[in-house]
Amino acid sequence: MSENIERIKCLIIGSGPAGYTAAIYASRADLKPVMYTGMQMGGQLTTTTEVDNFPGYPKGTDGTAMMEDLKNQAERFGTEVRFGLITEVNFSDKVGGIHKVTVDGTTQIEADTIIISTGATAKYLGIESEQRLIGGGVSACATCDGFFYKGQDVIVVGAGDTAAEEATYLSNICNKVTVLVRKDYMRASKAMQHRVKKTPNIEVKFNTEIDEVLGSNVVEGVRAVNNQTGAKEVIDVTGVFVAIGHKPNTDIFKGKLDMDETGYLITKGKSTKTNLPGVFAAGDVQDKEYRQAVTAAGTGCMAALDAERYLGSLI
């Protein structure tokens, strides 16, 4: 059995900007990386129709095309990209130890280093019309997509600091921002609440939820419902920004790697090192502050360099 187990220098778990950038750097360093993309090849960015804020695309691009560009670049330098899901991990806690993983519940692989770039999944409301219009006016990132709604009316759903930050960011771009809060109060910090209240083109509706997102191919409005009175109203908007949080894709690493209370992997200082030698984390899986494609790509570069230096220290 052991003779059939594949042994590699560098395993990259997850694709997206972090994973592909790590692959580019690792393959150029002759680490011969193997990447398992996960079930969503290219990651969360493939749900974004237009990307205008990633350097090197003066005319913009879409998320799927950009991820294909990064994939092709990684493969050009020798990265082996495989479609598959890591279903079990068994990390070594020793310097120079061998890390073992299982792919799709069957295939076993041993790796000298592992770069985790499994990302984080945006939380959505889960209603059919919302899911259907993701990429057609429904977004989970104002920084990514707010520019496309310049001078228009939009809705932000949420009550925490993220929702308040998204609303104030959009208020500088959009004509009007309506914030829908499910309860009769906001959970955001007092400072963020004051900022929202002082912004003239932000309106907060409490005890209000989305009953349906209106529109066939693009958002044309929402039907909102007051969860106390049952009264419904149609709000004419072209964009809906869902800001109810993200869930890092780290369930498989629980009890094996250090993470914070919400499940984000903890890395040491300014590095991508986790608490185990030879295991590194890059992108949204360890970044709950910025969550941008370009910052994910930056940490992907760092992870590959950290892996290369780690392997060099073993010689």
**Which residues are identified as catalytic?**
141, 144-145
Q: Inter-axis angle of helices 161-171 and 190-198, to 10 degrees? A: 30
Structure tokens at 295: 């910052």
Instruction: Say which DSSP state 260 is in.
Output: -
Do residues 42 and 15 touch, judged by C-beta distance below 8 A?
A: yes
Beta strands in the chain (DSSP E): 6-13, 34-36, 80-82, 86-90, 99-103, 107-116, 120-122, 138-139, 153-157, 176-180, 202-205, 208-214, 221-226, 232-235, 239-242, 246-248, 279-281
Do residues 207 and 227 touch, judged by C-beta distance below 8 A?
A: yes
| Spatial separation of the C-alpha atoms in residues 123 and 300, rounded to whole Å | 24
Do residues 169 and 142 touch, judged by C-beta distance below 8 A?
A: yes
Please enumerate in sequence order all residues whose Cβ is within 8 A of that of 62, keeping only pairs 6 or more positions apart, or say none. 48, 49, 50, 51
Coil, strand or helix at 164: helix
Burial status of residue 220 (CB atoms within 10 A of its CB: 0-12, 13-18, 19 or more): middle
Whole-Å CA distances, 114 to 169, 269, 310: 36, 19, 11
Structure tokens at 50: 């237009």
Phi, psi of 55 (to 5 degrees): -55, 140
